[in-house]
Amino acid sequence: MLQRCMDALAPAAGAPGAVVVDATLGLGGHSEAILTQFPGARLVAVDRDPAALRLSAERLAPFGDRATLVHAVYDEIPQVLDDLGIPEVHGVLFDLGVSSMQLDEADRGFAYAQDAPLDMRMDQTRGLSAAEVLNTYSHGDLARILKVYGEERFAGKIASVIVRERQKEPFTTSARLVELVRNAIPAATRRTGGNPAKRTFQALRIEVNGELEVLDRAIPGALERLAVGGRIVVMSYQSLEDRLVKQYFQAGATSTAPPGLPFVPEEHQPWLKLHTRGAVLATEAEIEENRRAAPVRLRVAERIRATRR
């Protein structure tokens, strides 16, 4: 969906002197497209993964000082912009979830299809690993994150198995966890919906990286720095992320005036315009080109008036 994102950003990012933020740099594919398709734009790209920053720096080196790469989490974008002396931006792109690099590197522990150390940290220099979560969280906390973050129907049962089995031997690698989850889920449920460990791995990844808490700060922070006429593009890959994005977008696109007023004061008028009706899904052609686009939900919004800062 890369080109669709570029098309959504174009009305704002194509203007000379535009500043565009890539909130999820990864391997730099979106950043490279922004710099290529909008030759008058300056890019500020952030990522919490030092390895991604090193690889992207090489990829984006030909663009020189048009690209500024920063080691930061995307809820820190306002501070990053302050440090760079940039008061507002004209485009922001979020491509949420795990990057292709993180999925493809077995030793990161994100993929349940191959045995690997249970790490799952997007920034391996800080925070608890997935193994530490599995080996130290109480039964109640494990069940909670599996149910809330993984939307797992059998969260309590899986948590019980984890607590029982870690007493025999601490969890260190993914294959053992995958097998335990598979055995904890009824056979009839295992026959549909793909790998039964998928939801458990999603829940652990979200917990380890604080993804929903970070996103809950990042979206309003990015919207606050968006110039009038600027656009924000968000690609989510699971319903919890998309729900948060939807709530912030709809709040900005809805009048806050009491019903029945003959005149709506400006401060109560919507300050966002939605450019997608609901969440846009990937087409069959896009999925065929990149199978990881299958679960994507795309939303686009534009700031249409200034608000008090």
Going by the annotation, the residues of the binding site are: 28-30, 47, 74, 95, 102
Tell me the C-alpha distance between 161 and 166, whole Å.
8
Identify whether the C-beta of residue 303 lies closer than 8 Å to the C-beta of residue 226: yes
Tell me the C-alpha distance between 153 and 146, whole Å.
9
- Residue 220's SS3 state is helix
Identify whether the C-beta of residue 112 lies closer than 8 Å to the C-beta of residue 198: yes
Q: In degrees rounded to 5, what are phi and psi of residue 89?
A: -130, 165
Q: What is the 3 state secondary structure string of 6-68?
A: HHHHHHHHCCCCCEEEECCCCCCHHHHHHHHHCCCCEEEEEECCHHHHHHHHHHHHHHHHHEE
Annotated binding-site residue numbers for S-adenosyl-L-methionine: 28-30, 47, 74, 95, 102
Sign of CA dihedral 21, 274, 246, 197: negative
Tell me the C-alpha distance between 27 and 11, whole Å.
25
Residue 173 is given by DSSP the state B
Tell me the C-alpha distance between 50 and 102, whole Å.
12
Residues 6 or more apart in contact with residue 200 via CB below 8 angstroms: 112, 146, 150, 152, 158, 177, 181
CA atoms within 13 A on the CB side of 123: 17
